[in-house]
Amino acid sequence: TAQAETLEFQSEARQLLQLMIHSVYSNKDTFLRELISNASDALDKLRLEAFRDKDLQADTDDLKITLEVDKAARTLTVRDNGIGMDRDEVVGLIGTIAKSGTAEFLQKLKQAKDGAGTQDLIGQFGIGFYSSFMVADKVTLVTRRAGRDEGVRWESAGESTYTIEAAPDAPQGTSVTLHLKPADVEDGLPDYTEAATLRTIVKRYSDFITWPVQLAPEGDKAEGDKADGDPETINSRKALWARPQSEVTDEEYAEFYKHIAHDWTDPLETIRLQAEGTFEYQALLFIPARAPMDLFMRERKRGVQLYVKRVFIMDDCEALMPEYLRFVKGVVDAQDLSLNVSREILQNDRHIQMMRRRLVRKVLSTVKSMMTEKPEQYATFWREFGRAVKEGLLDDFDNRETILGIASFDSTHDAEKQTTLEDYVARMPEGQEHIYYLTGESRATIENSPHLEAFRAKGYEVLVLTDPIDEMWVDSVPGFNGKQFQSVAKGQVDLDTDEEKAEAKERAKDFASMLEWMTSSLESDVKQVRLSSRLTTSPACLVGDENDLTPTMEKMYRAMGQ
Ligand code: ADP
Ligand code: MG
């Protein structure tokens, strides 16, 4: 048979391992949550694959997660009989980090030298399997993919290399054996070979896992005894979304969120929804406290899982959440769908579309009440996800008004604080008919724009829009509360009273020949030279035509080579 091969970790993986070994993360117990979470995913995948592929030679009886300890050897093993991995998967999934945004994450981590900053970042990233190295100085993983004859054995001390070799007798699924560091209770490292410790941790972090998590009885290895006694199931296995809300603690919801979102921080908001009637479903959704690093990368997945009658069906169910709410995480459990549903079927299913509409409205209304009841939390939400939510103004016509209602914008009213459109409208002085805005690259360039002068002089507030997406939606959204959006940099802006207009006409006569001369001299660069009431201190400014591209848009198109 093949010999053990020594391979190198990818460099990003190596850096993350170093972080784990030198354990910047204070709560080391969470390694167990990560391993149980992976085991649970592996069992979900096996059940699904066996269901889809009737020819798969897989054992699907008695699916479970087992914790085994060996006090003498000081090892803890987390075992599952799930889908397992083949050799390429072990190398690809365990030896490298495929998550998008890893490089960026490591860069930020380098910059944040202080302890608190790094903890925060790690919480944002989530390290999964590698967290084993917080508590172990060597990790052995043995795995066999369901349907394959031969398994793989992987081992590493978390330094720069690992070994990999064939494991002919490996049972189906995966076992991860941790060779534990010496317990050091003072340093926050309890003895993970103690049954009581494991029970507490599982209760705390993994109680809702729908598969049984069992504690194997420990035999007296020294005397060669077989372990006696029955394994003890230590999680309650209750699906959180199916339990009455009053019975579930905030901490339980938070742990569940961390499990499905692969996040290490508590969610910003938990949303529950129970629909009864002809199409029954339950939803448990979460708004994270922080935007993931890849929120704006292409191919970014959506975060809602679909279950059918408690059976996991798929991750990233795009039929349930529109793209602009891709940061929402959670579970939807439908009672009356076939276990066999495919993504294509879901996209076109009338019930699913109804469900999606309802879920979207629920998320938006949750944000709306956050706005009034928990303004600080809302501010966090908008800072993290506002840019994504604004995409909905282009995609989700039905909810446009609602989205505008939960949006906040910089404005000339207050340099520090953003404003809602409702507040803007409430401040509009007598005579102001439109909601004025100016788009640009930054607040500073906008503030210095001569376009603003006349508005300032009039005491009209102007929205300061600096996100690229703002350029797009302002053109397609007709208005808010019956008030039109009007760029202060485009077309004729009518700020004058009738009297002022008459005066301007007179003035125009006086200047007619000069304007004509200027227009013809500047012919190749401008369409027309006009007298303007826009300016109070600057002598002249460039104005776009009603239907022209804005300078930023022009730049964007040029950059795209058009
Ligand atoms: P994540 O769970 O966030 O993907 P992990 O580091 O925890 O990241 O795991 C990396 C990948 O390794 C998983 O996505 C999965 O494909 C694979 N993996 C880990 N543990 C198991 C397991 N027990 N069974 C099968 N595959 C596993
Ligand atoms: Mg994981």
For a ligand 1 pocket test, name from 38, 156, 162, 260 the mutation site with the most ligand atoms within 8 angstroms of its C-beta: 38
Nearest-angstrom CA–CA distance, 454 and 449:
11
Yes or no: say if 415 and 398 are a contact pair by the CB < 8 Å rule: no
Give the confidence band of 505 by pLDDT, cuts at 50, 70, 90.
confident
Residue-averaged pLDDT of the chain? 86
How many whole angstroms separate alpha carbon 321 and alpha carbon 344?
15
466/464 Cα distance (integer angstroms): 6
Q: Identify any residues that bridge with 142 across adjacent strands, giving them in sequence order.
A: 153, 175
Q: Which atom of ligand 1 is nearest to the CA of 127?
A: 6
Cα separation, 350 vs 362, in Å, equals: 18
DSSP collapsed to 3 states, 502-532 = HHHHHHHHHHHHHHHHHHHHCCCCCCCCCCC
Axis-axis angle for helices 350-373, 375-395 (nearest 10): 140
Grouping H, G, I as helix, E, B as strand and the rest as coil, residue 90 is helix
Query: What is the C-alpha to C-alpha distance for residues 558 and 562, in angstroms, rounded to an integer?
Result: 5
List residues near ligand 1 (CB under 6 A): 34, 38-39, 42, 80, 82-85, 93-94, 128-129, 174, 262
Instruction: Identify the nearest ligand to the CA of 132 by its number.
Output: 1
Helix (H, G, I), strand (E, B) or coil at 338: coil
Are the CB atoms for 425 and 480 separated by under 8 Å? yes
Looking at per-residue pLDDT, the higher value among 146 and 551 belongs to 146
Tokens of 394: 């282009």
Between CA 209 and CA 236 the distance in angstroms is: 8
**pLDDT number for residue 285:** 98
Q: Which residue has the tokens 């350029």?
A: 471
Ligand 2 center from residue 477 Cα (angstroms): 41
Among 49, 93, 209, 316, the mutation site with the greatest number of ligand 1 atoms within 8 A of its Cβ is 93
Residue 509 banded pLDDT, cuts 50, 70, 90: confident
According to the model, what pLDDT value does residue 166 have? 97
CA dist., res. 16 & res. 120, Å (int): 15
Identify the three-state secondary structure at position 109. Answer: helix
Mean pLDDT along residues 250-256 = 93
* Ligand at shortest distance from the CA of 33: 2
Gyration radius (Cα) of the chain, Å: 30
- pLDDT score recorded for residue 153: 98
Question: Annotated binding residues for ATP, as ranges?
Answer: 34, 38, 80, 85, 99-101, 124-129, 174, 343
CB 61 within 8 A of CB 150: no
φ, ψ for residue 418 (rounded to 5)? -75, 160
Q: Pick the residue with more confidence: 454 or 225? A: 454
By DSSP bridging, strand 65-70 and strand 462-465 are: unpaired
Q: Which of 202, 220, 214 is nearest to 259 (CA)?
A: 202
pLDDT of residue 1: 53
Q: Which atom of ligand 1 is nearest to the CA of 38?
A: 20
Nearest Cα residue to 300 out of 385, 397, 209, 400: 385
| 127 in Cβ contact with 16 (< 8 Å) | yes
The whole-number average pLDDT for the span 431-445 is 90
Helix and strand totals (H; E) in the chain: 17, 20
CA of 130 to the centre of ligand 1 (A): 10
Q: Which residues are annotated as a binding site?
A: 34, 38, 80, 85, 99-101, 124-129, 174, 343
Q: How remote is the CA of residue 160 from the centroid of ligand 1, in Å? A: 20
Task: Give per-residue pLDDT as tens, 389-433.
Answer: 999 999 999 999 999 999 999 999 998 999 999 999 999 998 889
Place of tokens 């798969």: 56
Most confident of 356-360, 506-510, 552-556: 356-360
| CA 40 – ligand 1 centroid, Å | 10
> What residue's CA is closest to ligand 1, atom 10?
93
Query: How many Å lie between the centroid of ligand 1 and the Cα of residue 506?
Result: 77
Atom 23, ligand 1: which residue's CA is nearest? Answer: 39
Each residue of 528-543: pLDDT tens digit? 777 666 666 666 666 6
Ligand 1 atom nearest residue 78's Cα: 23
Closest ligand 1 atom to residue 82 Cα is 24
pLDDT, tens only, 162-181:
999 999 999 999 999 999 99
Contact 277, 334 (CB under 8 A): no
Ligand with smallest separation from the Cα of 80: 1
Residue 286: φ, ψ to 5°: -135, 140
SS3 545: coil
